[in-house]
Amino acid sequence: MGKPKVGVYGLTGCAGCQLTIIFNEDEILDLIDLVDLKAFPFIKSHNEDETFDLVFCEGLVASNEDLVTLKKVRDKAKILVALGACAHTGCIPAYRHWTLKENYEHLLYDKNHDIQDQEPTPIDAHVKVDFTIPGCPPDGKEILNFVKDILNGKTPKKYNNPVCIECRRNNNDCLLIEGKPCMGPITAGGCHSVCINGGFECWGCRGPTGDANYEAWINDLRSKGFDDNFIKTRMKIFAGLKMEESAFKILK
Amino acid sequence: MTHTINLNHITKIEGHAKLFVEIENSKIKKCELSSIEGARYFEGLLKGKHWFEAHEITSRICGICSCGHNVAALMAIENALGIPVSEQSKVLKKLLTFGERIRSHAAHLYFLALPDYLGYESALAMTPKYKTEVKRALKLMKIGNDIVRTIGGRDMHQVTATYGGFLKIPTKEQLNDLADRVKGLKEASIETAKLFLSLKQRPAVNECEYFSLYEENDYPMIDGPLVSEKSKFDKDQYLDYFKEYHNKYSTANFVAKDDVSFVTGSLARMNNAFDKLSIDAKKVATDNGFKIPNKNPYNNNVAQAIEIVDALDQVMKICTELDPVDEKPPKVNVKAGHGIGAVEVPRGTLFHEYTLDDKGIIQHANIITPTALNLKNMEDNIREIIPSLLNLKDEEKINLEIEKLIRAYDPCFSCSTHFLKVKWHKVLTKS
């Protein structure tokens, strides 16, 4: 088998996840030697979009252009990877779903413009996604390990333990006990609890763990004086459209 | 005869953008540079959020200048609520933004700008012949990221800086280690400056006002009034000087002052504060013939390269002098308020402005990014340069020169809104 043909595309987003690939400064040149990088418009002028073995897609669908690009790369890619929180959950831009139109509508200057707004949605709302590398942004090494697995013919595994497991291992003081609205117990880890290591509570950027005890977590936050509105916003702001509906039923 | 230049998707810039130019009988009828990024409505999403959520949300506006957004939001809220900020916290904020300046400039210069000058489609394609240069870029990006990671806890969307202070203070050992490693890269930064100073630039003059923050004792970063050759005003007056207007072809904000074209960014900072650069930064610039004031827009690249030398020196100085004390962030008294924060991010001056109600809920947010500020000037310069390019005849060459000019501004369309792909249409009309 020859080198796998790889593409890296960005939809609407902050380019942070694409940068996270490049910010593997010690490994990036070796990594690029192992693949045939056909397209990466952020850093390349010649981008061939024939067929790909592997495409990383950053960003969410927020415009008609995004949708066209996404469908094109899906059609040409054997494996499509949602790279980062925007592609995975819709992240912060998807909060528009719960924002009053009057708060943002005026910010779009030209309603007749050829770039049409789309409902902000993660990419799996439109196309089949084969793998997700979560996080805002993902851990750089996680991306390397993903590519290594693919090159070795292994199926990359999803990390599904809550952030608290890694956080305890890192010997951090529990921020929930300190009264902070930490989302660690209900959020998928794999991030080495990087935010909490820095003293900052988890905001849930890697999406829900799936089998979390939402009721216990919500009641704990309530007992610390956080109201249901605040809790709801926190649950939506990064986890976006991936937060489980059942969790919201507990809230008023 | 009518020509149109239609760059539908510009590559090697941050974000997605396109350019449309219409030329009739050698006269430019239209020149529209616009973002084709989907709207994210950050300012709208901030309405109704708590004061302490602004920095974490706005950091996501941009991957490459997340620290800048973070710090601008912190400063605006600190001003709105009168939160006291210790000297140590100010210095740590500066370290974050210096780290970001280094990684952003190194990434832009070597990965986005240099391939055009050396005749390659990308830095990756350059690698076989220019391995030393590409490796140098990666080393500089790494030290920038390591500075941000050491101070901010994370290389992107840092977490430790908070309102009035830091959640985690770096240790003296960490700062010493950084200082040592930064020192080891000094030569790489000098080589970078020399490389960009040696590139042949197309002659061009950008006659406009050059705006940046101004600090009495330091090269511009996170404090002070706004200055240009002619004006000086407090950052709170930014909206009196920078008028926001909406045009029909973009989601980005365009701004003009008294309808006069102006620019922010590395070259503006250098024109306003060259004497505040570190000794070695000034030396490499003057030894290699860099003159101030400098009005060639392509030289923004050169200014960025010189700024890397300065940033490394500043980081070394701070890390050597700072003896960190383990202080806790102050308790905040929530009240109604209004505050503005301004930061010299890699691409120019960034403004964050918030109005809070008495419960500290955000009622209004206004965020003006350097790319939004610079967009009109970019268009003006493209318009200016095109007539001299038409002699090149070859469409690819003309497009490359236009793209080089756009890339010299290091625009970030993620912030304002994303790349450039060139497609020409020729329409023959009876004339």
- Is residue B419 over pLDDT 70? no
Read off the DSSP letter of residue B254.
Answer: E
Nearest to B419 among A14, A41, A109 (CB): A41
Q: Looking at the complex, does the CB of residue B347 fall below 8 Å from at least one CB of chain A?
A: no
Q: Given pLDDT bands bounded at 50, 70 and 90, which one contains residue B292? A: very high
Which of A27, A32, A45 to substitute to test the interface with B, most B CBs within 10 Å? A45
Is B89 within 8 Å of A45 (Cβ atoms)? Answer: no
Single-letter amino acid code for the residue at B245: Y
Q: How many structural domains is chain B composed of?
A: 1
pLDDT number for residue B245: 62
* β-strands B165-166, B161-162 pairing: antiparallel
Q: pLDDT below 70 — which residues of chain A? A: 1, 107-115
Which of A17, A18, A25 to substitute to test the interface with B, most B CBs within 10 Å? A25
Is B306 within 8 Å of B281 (Cβ atoms)? Answer: yes
Which of A115, A180, A233 to substitute to test the interface with B, most B CBs within 10 Å? A115
Residue identified by tokens 């964050």 is B352
pLDDT number for residue B213: 97
- B189: tokens are 């930064």
Is A82 within 8 Å of A132 (Cβ atoms)? Answer: yes
Sort out which chain B residues have CB atoms less than 8 A from A37's CB and list them: 124
> What would the pLDDT profile of B78-128 be if each residue is shown by its tens digit?
999 999 999 999 999 999 999 999 999 999 999 999 999 999 999 999 999
Nearest to B121 among A44, A118, A197 (CB): A44
Is A149 within 8 Å of A156 (Cβ atoms)? Answer: yes
CB contact under 8 A, B111 and A46: no
Residues β-bridged to residue B366? B353
- Is residue B308 over pLDDT 80? yes
ipTM: 0.96
Sort out which chain B residues have CB atoms less than 8 A from A117's CB and list them: 38-39
- A91: tokens are 């992240």
Dihedral pair phi/psi, residue A238, rounded to 5°: -105, -35
Q: Looking at the complex, does the CB of residue B18 fall below 8 Å from at least one CB of chain A?
A: no
CB contact under 8 A, B64 and A197: no
> What would the pLDDT profile of B342-360 be if each residue is shown by its tens digit?
999 999 999 999 999 999 9
Q: How far is residue B72's CA from residue B55's CA, in Å, rounded to a whole number?
A: 8
pLDDT number for residue B421: 28
- Is residue B3 over pLDDT 90? no
Q: Given pLDDT bands bounded at 50, 70 and 90, which one contains residue B1? A: low
Residues 130-189, chain B: which have Cβ within 8 Å of A? Answer: 134-135, 138-139, 141-142, 145, 152-160, 162, 167-168
Closest alpha carbon within chain B to A192: B154
- Is residue B397 over pLDDT 80? yes
Q: Å from A31 to nearest chain B CA?
A: 11
Q: Given pLDDT bands bounded at 50, 70 and 90, which one contains residue B253? A: low
CB contact under 8 A, B134 and A136: no
- Dump strand ranges (E) for chain A: 5-10, 36-39, 52-58, 61-63, 77-83, 117-121, 131-133
Read off the DSSP letter of residue B257.
Answer: B
Residues β-bridged to residue B166? B161
> What would the pLDDT profile of B14-63 be if each residue is shown by its tens digit?
778 888 888 887 788 888 887 777 888 899 999 999 999 999 999 999 99
Select A5-151's CATH number: 3.40.50.2300, 3.40.50.700, 3.40.50.880, 3.40.50.720.
3.40.50.700
Sort out which chain A residues have CB atoms less than 8 A from B145's CB and list them: 23, 25
Residues 6+ apart with CB under 8 A from B310: B219, B277, B278, B281
Q: Å from B131 to nearest chain A CA?
A: 10
Residues 357-416, chain B: which have Cβ within 8 Å of A? Answer: 414
- Is residue B335 over pLDDT 90? yes
Alpha-carbon separation of residue B427 from B7, B24, B27, B420 (angstroms)? 15, 10, 15, 21
**H or E stretch at B18:** strand B17-24
Q: Å from B121 to nearest chain A CA?
A: 5
Angle at the Cα of B97 from the Cα atoms of B53 and B134, rounded to 5 degrees: 125
Sort out which chain A residues have CB atoms less than 8 A from B138's CB and list them: 25-26, 28-29
Domains in chain A: boundaries: 5-151, 163-249
Q: How far is residue A214's CA from residue A209's CA, in Å, rounded to a whole number?
A: 10
Sort out which chain B residues have CB atoms less than 8 A from A22's CB and list them: 107, 111, 141
**B28 belongs to a structural domain:** no
CB contact under 8 A, B41 and A66: no
| CATH number for the domain harbouring residue B225 | 1.10.645.10
Closest alpha carbon to B318 in B88, B70, B74: B88
Q: Given pLDDT bands bounded at 50, 70 and 90, which one contains residue B68? A: very high
Is A38 within 8 Å of A97 (Cβ atoms)? Answer: no
Stated pTM of the model: 0.94
Q: What is the mean pLDDT of chain B?
A: 90
Q: Å from B191 to nearest chain A CA?
A: 19
Is A120 within 8 Å of B42 (Cβ atoms)? Answer: no
CB contact under 8 A, A44 and B41: no
Q: Å from A190 to nearest chain B CA?
A: 15
- Is residue B290 over pLDDT 80? yes
Count of CB atoms within 10 A of residue A139's CB? 19
Domain that holds residue B193: 42-394
Q: Within chain B, how many helices (H) and strands (E) appear?
A: 16, 16
